[in-house]
Chain A
Amino acid sequence: MSLRSGIGDFFNPRISGNAPPPSEKTKEPEPEREESGTWRETGYSATDEEAHRDSVYSIKSVLHQTLEVFMVQMKLFSKMKWTYILLFTALLIPIIALLAPDFIDILSTFGYSTGYSTTKIAGLLFFLPLMLGLMTSIMCGTQMPSEFKERTAYMNIPMPMSRASFFFGKYLAGFVMCLGIFMFAYSMAIATALKDYDTIFPDLITSSILLTLVGVMAYSATAYCIGCFTKKGSSIFPFALMSFIIPLIVVIICSQTDNYTLTLLPMFLGEAALGILGASMTGSAGMVILGNMDLTATWLMLLIGIAWTAGFLLLGYIRIKRREM
C-alpha cells in the first residue's frame, strides 16, 4: 500500500476499505446464473459488479465517526444564540477601545504599563480568565445532558458508532468553538493595539496563545466531564468551580503557606496568559496572586493543563461508556 493511499484510507475510508478484497484463489466457482438467482422467471440478469455482490459493507472508521459527530455538534452550535453573543463580546474589544479610550486608560491606574504593545494587549484582554470559565461552561457544560434530555442520544448511540466517537466528537466541537471565540478575541486585541504599536514580542504572544489554548482545553474538559455526571447539566456550576471556588481555595492555601506551587493548576492558565504579556492584574479571582506566580514554568503549566484535560476526558468517557441506555 502506498503512503498516499494509506493516508487517504485513514481520513476517508471507502465502503469496503476495512475488509480485504476477496482472493482469487479462494473464490468459489460461480454457479450458473439461471440457477443461483431468483430472477429466472423475470428474465433479469446482472453482473456481480452491477448487483454489488462482491461489495463488503462495513462501518466507517472511528475517525470518520468522530468527525461526523463533530459536524453535527457544530451544526447545533451554529443554531445557538450564545455562539453569537460570545462573539459579540469579543467584538466589544475594539468597539470599547475606539469609542471609550478612557476606559482602557483607566487600566493604567491598576498598574498596567501602557508603554508596551504586549501590556496593552493584556489590558484589552483584561477579562480573559473570567471569560475562559464562562464561555467553556456555556458551550460544553450542557452538551451531554441535553443529548439525554432531548432523547437524541438514544437515537445516536444505538447507531453503528462507537461511544468514544460520540463522546470525543462532541467535546472536540465544544473545544474548537471556544478556541475560535478566543482567537477572535486575540485578533481583535492585537488589531486594536496596532493603532499605537507596530511591533510586538512574538514569543510572548505565542506563549500567551498557547496558555489560552490549553486553558480552553482544560476548562472545557472539566465542564464537559461535569455535564456527563449530571442529569440536567449546568452552565453555572463549572464556571463557579473553575473561576471562583477552586481559585479562592488555592489563594487561601497559598497565602497561608507562602507557597505558590498550586498556581500551576489549570485554573490559573488565564492569569498566566495575561501575566506573560506583562499584565499586573486581571479581571478574575486569581488576580490577587498574579504577582506571586512563577511564569518561568509555563511549560509545566501547559503539561499539567494537558494532563488535567486527559484525566477529565477519561473520567467523562468512562461514565458515558458505562451508562446504561
Chain B
Amino acid sequence: MSGFRTAAIAFLMLAIVLVPAVTDESDADSGTARMSDSYILSTDYKWISGTIIRSDCFYYKASNTEAINAFEKCLNDREGTLPADDSGNLRAGEMVRIYYATKNIAVNVPITVKSDSEITDKSQFAGGIIMPYPAGFFVKAGDSFTIRITEAKDNYGEDVVCYVMENGIPYDLSKTYSGSMKTTGEFTFETDPPSGADGRFYIDLKYESTGFSEPSGSAALYAAVCAVVTIAIFCILAYSGMKPKWSK
C-alpha cells in the first residue's frame, strides 16, 4: 500500500470519528418550557384480578388526551382482554414522559370459596398506587445547572410544591436552585405526597433552567462510525489471513 493511500485512509478514519463529535449541539440553554406539553404514561402497576396480572400499562404518546385515555383504558381492563402490549400502536409520537402521575385505585377482586355444603364469597378489595417516573433532567458530568419552577399545577389546577432534598433539608424549587454533577446523571426532584384516591394524575410544570442537556446527535451516524471502524479492522484480519506471504 502506498504511503499516500495509507495517509488518506487514516485521514478519512479520523474525519469519520471526529466530525460527529464537533457537530454536538446538545447543551441546553436557558429558557422556559411547559413540561406537560407531552407525556409518557408509564407505570409498574400490576393489575390483579383473580389470576390476571397486568403489568403492561405502558403507553407512550405525545398527545396528552389520547395517552390518558389509553392509560385509563388499560387500568379499567379488569378482565385483561386488552392485548399484552398495545403500546406499539400508541407510540405515534416521539418518546415523552409524564412528570408525575399518582392515582389510588381500589378494585374488588372476586374470590369464591366452594365447599361441599356452601359457596362463600370472599371477595376482597385490592388497592395500589400507580408509581410515576419522577421528574428528571439530564446533566452531563462537570456541568453546572440552575432550575426554578415558576409554576406547578396538577390536573385539577391546584398548586403543587416542588422541592429537592439537600442534606435532609427540603429546598423549595420556587427559588433558583443551582448545582453541579461529578458524574453524568439525572437531576430529580420531588413534590408533595399524593392527594389520595382519584387525586393528582399529572403535574404541569413551567420552569426556567440552565445547564440541562438534550440529545441532538444522530445515533445512526455513530452506529455507522463504529461499524466502519469495526469493518476496517476485520478487513485487515481477513487480508492478513489471505496473504500467503505472511504464512507462518
By the criterion CB–CB under 8 Å, are A180 and B233 in contact?
A: yes
Question: Is A280 among interface residues, defined by CB-CB distance under 8 A?
Answer: yes
The number of residues on chain B lying at the interface, defined by a beta carbon within 8 Å of a beta carbon of chain A, is 52
Stretch at the interface among A28-36, A73-81, A246-254, A312-320: A73-81
Interface residues of A in 1-40 (CB under 8 A from B): 4, 7-12
The 8 A CB mask of B181-221 against A (1 = contact, 0 = none) is 01111100000000000000000000000000101111110
**How many positions in chain A have a CB within 8 Å of any CB in the partner chain?**
59
Determine if B238 is an interface residue (Cβ-Cβ < 8 Å). Answer: yes
Q: Which residues of the partner chain A approach B213 to less than 8 Å between Cβ atoms? A: 201
Which of A185-193, A221-229, A232-240 contacts its partner? A185-193
Tell me, yes or no, whether A72 is within 8 Å of chain B by CB: yes
Is there an interface contact between B236 and A74, defined as CB atoms closer than 8 Å?
A: yes
> Among the listed stretches A45-53, A113-121, A134-142, A160-168, which one makes contact with chain B, having 4 or more residues with CB under 8 Å of it?
A113-121
A41 interface residue, CB < 8 Å from B?
Answer: no
Of residues 201 to 222 in A, which have CB atoms within 8 Å of B's CB atoms?
201-206, 209
Give B140's nearest chain A residue, CB to CB. Answer: A204
Please tell me if B247 contacts chain A, counting CB pairs below 8 Å.
yes
Closest to A69 in B: B246
Q: Which residues of A contact B182 (CB under 8 A)?
A: 293-296
Is the beta-carbon distance between A8 and B217 smaller than 8 angstroms?
no
- Least distance between B67 CB and chain A CB atoms (Å): 16
Interfacial chain B residues near A9, Cβ < 8 Å: 3
A202 to B42, CA, bound (A): 27
Is B20 engaged at the interface, CB distance under 8 Å to the other chain?
yes
Neighbour of B184 across the interface among A72, A152, A277, CB < 8 A: A277
Chain B residues near A12 (CB-CB < 8 A): 1-3
**A57 contacts which chain B residues (CB < 8 A)?**
none
Cα distance A198–B183 in the bound complex, in angstroms: 24
Interface string of A242-272 (1 = CB under 8 A from B): 0000000000000000000000000000000
| Chain A neighbourhood of B229, CB < 8 A | 179-180, 183
Instruction: Type the 1/0 row for A136-159, where 1 means its CB is closer than 8 Å to any CB of B.
Output: 000000000000000010000000
* A contact residues vs B (CB 8 Å cutoff): 4, 7-12, 68, 71-72, 74-79, 83, 113, 115-118, 152, 176-177, 179-180, 183-184, 186-187, 190-191, 193-194, 196-206, 209, 275-278, 280, 290-291, 293-296, 298
Known: A200-B219, A276-B184. 12 other contacts (CB 8 A): A7-B3, A9-B3, A10-B3, A11-B2, A68-B246, A75-B248, A180-B237, A183-B229, A183-B230, A199-B215, A200-B217, A203-B26
What are the 5 closest A-B residue pairs judged by CB atoms, nearest first?
A: A202-B217, A11-B3, A180-B233, A187-B226, A296-B142
